[in-house]
Amino acid sequence: MVDLDPEADRVTVGEAADLEQDRLVAARVNFIAGEAPTTALRVTARIRHNHEPAPATVETLDDGRARVVFDQPQRAITPGQSCVWYDGDCVVGGGVIEPPGR
């Protein structure tokens, strides 16, 4: 499944490669230090519990959300799941993955 639109009662399917994305936007962002960084931050990011953390850059957006750009595309970035950012073994912060285009 590539997209789900419950309002239109529509499911979009595609090829396996269509499930790979190199970025996401997270809402309800929380940084453990309390304040969002003012510059881009290099992290490893995990997009679900059993996902191997992948190298990425996190940038805070003006509206309190954050953009995560992965070095390599990741499979099945899923809206509603948590994305957690790490510096080594330490949690830096995280947020909830939004649907693309929001």
Residue-range domain boundaries for the chain: 20-97
Give every CB contact of residue 6 below 8 A, 6+ residues apart in sequence.
none
pLDDT of residue 17: 62
In CATH terms, the fold of domain 20-97 is Elongation Factor Tu (Ef-tu); domain 3 (2.40.30)
Confidence label for 2 from pLDDT (cuts 50, 70 and 90) = low
Question: What Rg do the C-alpha atoms of the chain give, in angstroms?
Answer: 14
Convert the pLDDT of each residue in 82-95 to its tens digit: 999 999 999 999 99
User: Does pTM surpass 0.85?
Assistant: no
- Residue 84: strand, helix, or coil: strand
Convert the pLDDT of each residue in 7-31 to its tens digit: 887 776 666 666 789 999 999 999 9
Convert the pLDDT of each residue in 43-85 to its tens digit: 999 998 888 999 999 999 989 999 999 999 999 899 999 999 9
